[in-house]
Chains A and B, each alone.
Chain A
């Protein structure tokens, strides 16, 4: 194996690793704030990638139907609770947010598909389509169960994953799509030819991470999310609404998912069910990082990207096996290394 192959594999590994790192952060964030193991994280990735692909081929992304339907379900739920609490004045706002909002976004997507827009405008439309799915999903599937155990929430996650990937098959079909890269340019760095897309991926991931850090360190809402993760009872006593922090965590998770999908779609062909595999690798990264620290989770995910890249060179057929087998020794080592009783499972 020559040096330029090694460099090439490293570059490839860092590119995919950066995307896994974003997903690892999203999974960790959602878990810390809500105790949900967020299996459907990957669906945001595939929805975003395929929506972008459809826009680029001049079709209205099927995502609009999921958005409209999700909005309608939430409108019914919220409307019923507003009526039960005898606050009919809230109905107008509920209709505006959950019915008119999705319809407006759908109209925008339809218009966007009919016109040959620039890539950035298309990405903005994809974000408008996919990001609201996060809080809608939270409201429908998880918020009614806010006090359930981790296991129950995980089962709900599995169900949500199957529903969303099933819907994905219906609205996108079984064929994969690949989108246009942000830039076709290639830079020569020594022996290495670096694709501009790789630079974009790494750069965009870095920007997302810095933005997350700023959010958590320097805004009251960001600190409220951290507080909820640190001490759930304390957060409730401080008057931080659990529904609000949960929704925000899901907005962030969906936004990160959408960004990952848009970034990965020019590099890899994405199918309706590709999301699970991609986000699982982010999950492996988060586990390698101990499921506790954001920087470690990002590093772990980067490691997963590198290992995957090298194992696909040596043993292409086994690359998934190698990546997932990695968890076993790490978990073993962690359970041996931690002398104190297992991480407290704060189930009230």
Chain B
């Protein structure tokens, strides 16, 4: 079984508002899969449902087993981790405590490696080591992002889900973060990456999905998607107006010649 995550017909609603209508998605082992789409498309909702933070219908199979009924902490124990859009750090605890708590279940299970892991996270993010005694609430935006990623790594994830890891970061740090994500793949971690920065995401991903208003409208290999004129226009900012927000529905009236290439599989 090489598929680590199989999501089928996932539906989520907030009260009467349907945020996801039947999303299906696959993550193969050892690959990076990216989900791109405009604001409000349901990307964060998708990750929340897979993590178990939101109630959903449909099936979520992880490592061959249906995990739909498991609580969040059991999913974490199985190696499914989320770095959420809002980071959700423990502001009044120190950087080091935040990291240690990321390995909470491993320590309780009596795993030895948790202490080494801390060393590895510090090696990856030397900045966090410098700030180890500082309260998380006082970190800068970039440092918070590193801490959120570091905390997730402390749980030794097998599938790491990242919600906009580049949000609000300087280009150089974005590059660092993306490089780290690509390195993680080399160590066998599979990654589900949600990004506004579609160019960067498609640059490191193996496959991609385009989500619009709660539905997958396109999917394919990262290269195919990057070469798709419609993706290029709406998400890579190649054709048309560069300043156009990704949320604009430019794709509502695509140029006639791009029509035939939609829904690349």
Contacts and interface: CB of A to CB of B under 8 A. Distances in A.
Interface of A: 220, 223-224, 226-227, 230-231, 233-242
Nearest to A348: B53
Contacts of A233: 53, 84, 88
B201 interface: no
Interface string B61-93: 000000000011100110001101001111111
Nearest to B86: A233
Given A223-B100, A224-B104, A227-B101, A237 B81 contact: yes
A220 B107 contact: yes
Contact of B53 (A230, A236, A238, A242): A236
Name A's interface SS. Answer: helix
B97 interface: yes
Nearest to B99: A238
Given A237-B84, A238-B151, A231 B104 contact: no
Nearest to A234: B88
Contact of A231 (B53, B77, B90, B102): B90
12 contacts: A224-B104, A231-B91, A233-B53, A234-B90, A238-B76, A238-B101, A238-B102, A239-B72, A239-B73, A239-B155, A240-B101, A240-B104
B51 interface: yes
A223 B96 CA distance: 11
Given A230-B90, A237-B72, A223 B105 contact: no
B104 A237 contact: no
Contacts of A226: 90, 92-93
Nearest to B88: A234
B136 to A, nearest CB: 9
Interface string B21-53: 000000000000000000000000000000101
Contacts, number: 70
Contacts of A234: 87-90
B98 to A, nearest CB: 8
Contacts of B152: 237
Contact of A237 (B77, B82, B97): B82
Contacts of A220: 100-101, 104, 107
Given A223-B93, A227-B97, A235-B101, 16 more contacts: A226-B93, A230-B93, A231-B89, A233-B53, A234-B87, A236-B53, A236-B72, A236-B73, A236-B76, A237-B72, A237-B84, A238-B102, A238-B104, A238-B151, A241-B71, A242-B73
Contacts of B89: 231, 234
A242 B76 CA distance: 13
Nearest to B75: A239
B93 A239 contact: no
A227 B100 CA distance: 11
Given A220-B100, A223-B97, A239 B105 contact: yes
Contacts of A242: 71, 73
Contact of B76 (A224, A227, A239): A239
Contacts of A223: 93, 97, 100-101
Nearest to A240: B104
Interface in B240-255: none
B81 A227 contact: no
Contacts of B82: 237
Most buried by A among B77, B101, B102, B155: B101
B171 to A, nearest CB: 28
B73 A240 contact: yes
A227 B77 contact: no
